[in-house]
Amino acid sequence: MQKLDIFNHIFPKPFYELMMKMAPGHEDIGKRVRGVPMLYDLDERFRVMDRFEDYQQILCLASPPIEALGEPDIAVQLARAANDGMAELIDKYPDRFPGFAASLPMNAPAALLEETRRAVDELGACGVQIFTNVNGKPLDAPETLPLFDLMAGYDRPIWLHPARRASHADYPTETKSKYEIWWTFGWPYETSAAMAHIVFAGLFDKHPNLKIITHHMGGMVPYFEGRVGPGWDQLGSRTSDEDLTGLLEKLEKRPLDYFKMFYADTATFGARAATECGLSFFGPERVLFASDSPFDPEKGPMYIRETIKVLDGLEMPDHVRADIYRNNALKLLRLNLNGA
Amino acid sequence: MQKLDIFNHIFPKPFYELMMKMAPGHEDIGKRVRGVPMLYDLDERFRVMDRFEDYQQILCLASPPIEALGEPDIAVQLARAANDGMAELIDKYPDRFPGFAASLPMNAPAALLEETRRAVDELGACGVQIFTNVNGKPLDAPETLPLFDLMAGYDRPIWLHPARRASHADYPTETKSKYEIWWTFGWPYETSAAMAHIVFAGLFDKHPNLKIITHHMGGMVPYFEGRVGPGWDQLGSRTSDEDLTGLLEKLEKRPLDYFKMFYADTATFGARAATECGLSFFGPERVLFASDSPFDPEKGPMYIRETIKVLDGLEMPDHVRADIYRNNALKLLRLNLNGA
């Protein structure tokens, strides 16, 4: 069965070199990247990919977010280099990489839409990858709202990747967190909080066709369906110093119904019960195969293998499995591929 | 089938009156309490309980935590009043309330163990309820560690309830959070972070019989089994300024294995797929029926009804269902009841 892995990570070599040059103080990133060769070494990536039959990848840059690497002018140059690098790879290896999600300089509002247009119109990006906050600011800040309008206009997806933040009123603050809790639980929390901002800012009322792919099977939302559902139906009952009840009236639907409008990927690192829970929440037509490779203990193949094992083991008609593995993505990413 | 609801909330009337008197500045709590009569009105509680056949409750105080209500001397008095109030209720209505979880003045280390002993030895508490942080401090701080030793010695459970915090390095900070994200996603995050502190502090190595009941089906842990599992097997790989790898070597087991040593309750507010995911993670022998009543849109009956609907609808042998509804709790809480 053909498989299109829509969320996995890469540093195209020219981008990686530029990042190391332009973003000094990020030597820690360099060190971590060098520990995971598949991130920058194409031959290693092909060796890992070849272990899996009929397996292709949509390319996304690895984190940290572009906007965390430097001031706006640096971010713009880095985003351009990242997108040029990924475009080069999909041109050169279309059978390996049928597409990519563009990286954006989210801290450079003046250049943001321009780079988006360049990536989609000129470089052939399938959509864009953004992070759950912009250097601490929520995604519904005035500077970044126009991106949602643009992407809804394109009818192309936004990949939503979690990002740690230093401090913000409704996100965890964990510059110096213990035990990497910021990663294990903080990232899905960030994803969930960002989803809430998108919902309560009314973005799905404004753009019912808005397509947002949430990493790691929708963050916390499916497991906490009860809190998002009847819990948030009581929005305002836990707040004394502000009247939040009007917010529910302003929205056209129940909060829960908007959360079901997101898309989600299967990157649960081999967690079968979680995958079932996520599938039950979003429905198989909104779930897309993804591995989050190469960030696993084996530095590449493990999460691909374990995710395939979970999906192959779930009881569902084969045409539904094929949708999750590839067809949902072809439709969402507007790809027209012939064969693998 | 007999049902014992082990996590639901009450304010015994004498405690509530004392709290309003001793903890001024908490009028907002008073206002919210008055909106949910079942919290303080026993007749209303009985009316709601009577809707369900063979249904009993273990009493737990409602939040906020005792220690958030005042200085240590006030907290000690409030904890005593809460425990006296719950003990009175179980003495007077043993068929309704076969037991209670004691409240503790966690900010009063000098009195903490004394009140625990008084509650268990003299008042007949089944165990104690604590919150996921102590006014911002993690549970493995030196002042609160002796409580875990004491409870392991008693072989009695600790109910772990989430609590918002103002600020701490590895918890969300949300004194002024938008959309009550601090509740919807922040609470399960707090639960998960507290579980991580308990695990990485080595408390399960020290006390393999430690019994901790995590609210809302184990926080985020079951859904993020992949992050807790292979994700945390790589502890240290995401941290540059500190060497965390030694921590894994210090522990006797894989991090994931410790997280499976917690107990969890069914308070998912009617989320069937989440309940299945949690059951799959902890195993049915570590899951206990609980509703979190009365904090639902109907102010009492809805979460009881919806939780029963989920459990009755799951495919499992009836003896397993009976374990989840009551027998696991009887064993864990060391209750010896005859009939309902």
Q: What is the pLDDT of residue B338?
A: 62
Q: What is the pLDDT of residue A97?
A: 98
Phi-psi region of B103 (alpha: psi -120 to 50; beta: other; left: phi over 0): beta
Q: What is the DSSP letter of B285?
A: G
Partner-chain residue, chosen from A172, A179, A269, that has the shortest CB–CB distance to B235:
A179
- Is the predicted pLDDT of residue A266 greater than 80, yes or no? yes
A182 versus B103: which is more confidently predicted?
Answer: B103
Are B196 and A176 within 8 A, CB to CB? no
- Is the predicted pLDDT of residue A169 greater than 60, yes or no? no
Q: What is the pLDDT of residue A319?
A: 98
The ipTM, to two decimals, is 0.95
A325 versus A181: which is more confidently predicted?
Answer: A325
Give the mean pLDDT of chain A: 93
Residues A28 and B231: their CA atoms lie apart, in Å, by 19
Q: What is the pLDDT of residue A111?
A: 97
- The answer for A 48-107 residues in CB contact with B (under 8 A) is none
Chains A, B: CB pairs < 8 Å? 235
Residue A128, classed as helix, strand or coil, is strand
- Asked whether residue B229 is domain-assigned, the answer is yes
Residues A79 and A109: their CA atoms lie apart, in Å, by 13
Contact status of B30 with chain A (Cβ, < 8 Å)? no
H or E element at residue A61: strand A55-61
Report pLDDT digits (tens) over A36-51: 999 999 999 999 999 9
* Listed residue (A314, A315, A337) closest to A326, CA to CA: A337
Q: DSSP string covering B198-231, please? A: HHHTTHHHH-TT--EEEHHHHTTTTTTHHIIIII
Are A235 and B281 within 8 A, CB to CB? no
* Listed residue (A154, A99, A161, A107) closest to A132, CA to CA: A161
**In chain A, pLDDT over 70 holds for what percent of residues?**
95
User: Average of pLDDT values for A200-229?
Assistant: 98
Q: What is the pLDDT of residue B173?
A: 40
**CA B274 to the chain's CA centroid:** 18
Tokens of B208: 């393999």
Going by pLDDT thresholds of 50, 70 and 90, the confidence category of residue A166 is: low
- Asked whether residue B339 is domain-assigned, the answer is no
Contact status of B170 with chain A (Cβ, < 8 Å)? yes
Domain assignment of residue A22, given as a range: 3-332
Q: What is the DSSP letter of A206?
A: H
Give the distance from residue B23's alpha carbon to the nearest chain A alpha carbon, in angstroms. 17
A159 versus A166: which is more confidently predicted?
Answer: A159
Contact status of B245 with chain A (Cβ, < 8 Å)? no
Q: What is the pLDDT of residue A29?
A: 79
Of B167, B168, B185, which to mutate for an interface test with A (greatest number of A Cβ within 10 Å)?
Answer: B185
Residues A275 and A93: their CA atoms lie apart, in Å, by 31
Going by pLDDT thresholds of 50, 70 and 90, the confidence category of residue A28 is: confident
Q: What is the pLDDT of residue A63?
A: 80
Q: What is the pLDDT of residue B27?
A: 74
Beta carbons within 8 Å of A258's beta carbon, 6+ residues apart = A199, A204, A251
- Asked whether residue A134 is domain-assigned, the answer is yes
Are B297 and A234 within 8 A, CB to CB? yes
What residues of B are in contact with residue A176 (Cβ under 8 Å)? Answer: 169
Tokens of B339: 């009939």
- Asked whether residue B340 is domain-assigned, the answer is no
Let me know: does B222 contact B277? Beta carbons within 8 Å: yes
> Cα separations (Å) of B49 from A230, B4, B11, B57, B118?
20, 11, 16, 9, 29
Contact status of A338 with chain B (Cβ, < 8 Å)? no
Partner-chain residue, chosen from A169, A227, A238, that has the shortest CB–CB distance to B269:
A227
What residues of A are in contact with residue B177 (Cβ under 8 Å)? Answer: 169-170
Q: What is the pLDDT of residue B23?
A: 76
Which amino acid type is present at position A274? A
Residue B274: CATH number of its domain = 3.20.20.140
Residue B77, classed as helix, strand or coil, is helix
Partner-chain residue, chosen from B228, B247, B302, that has the shortest CB–CB distance to A184:
B228
What residues of B are in contact with residue A137 (Cβ under 8 Å)? Answer: none
Query: A25 to chain B: nearest residue by CA?
Result: B240
What residues of A are in contact with residue B281 (Cβ under 8 Å)? Answer: 273
Report pLDDT digits (tens) over A274-317: 999 999 999 999 999 999 999 999 999 999 999 999 999 999 99
Q: What is the pLDDT of residue A31?
A: 80
Partner-chain residue, chosen from B224, B268, B303, that has the shortest CB–CB distance to A184:
B224
B30 versus A187: which is more confidently predicted?
Answer: A187
H or E element at residue A22: helix A13-22
- The answer for B 292-331 residues in CB contact with A (under 8 A) is 296-297, 302-303, 306
Are A170 and B184 within 8 A, CB to CB? no
Q: What is the pLDDT of residue A22?
A: 86
Query: A247 to chain B: nearest residue by CA?
Result: B179
Are B193 and A170 within 8 A, CB to CB? no
Let me know: does B226 contact B167? Beta carbons within 8 Å: no
Are B188 and A220 within 8 A, CB to CB? yes
The list of chain B residues with pLDDT below 50 reads 167-176, 340
Query: B277 to chain A: nearest residue by CA?
Result: A273
Query: A29 to chain B: nearest residue by CA?
Result: B240
- Asked whether residue A76 is domain-assigned, the answer is yes
H or E element at residue A10: strand A3-10
Structural domain count of chain A: 1
Beta carbons within 8 Å of A81's beta carbon, 6+ residues apart = A12, A14, A15, A18, A19
Residue A265, classed as helix, strand or coil, is strand
Q: What is the pLDDT of residue A173?
A: 40
Residues A23 and A74: their CA atoms lie apart, in Å, by 8
Q: What is the pLDDT of residue A298?
A: 96
Residues B165 and B173: their CA atoms lie apart, in Å, by 6
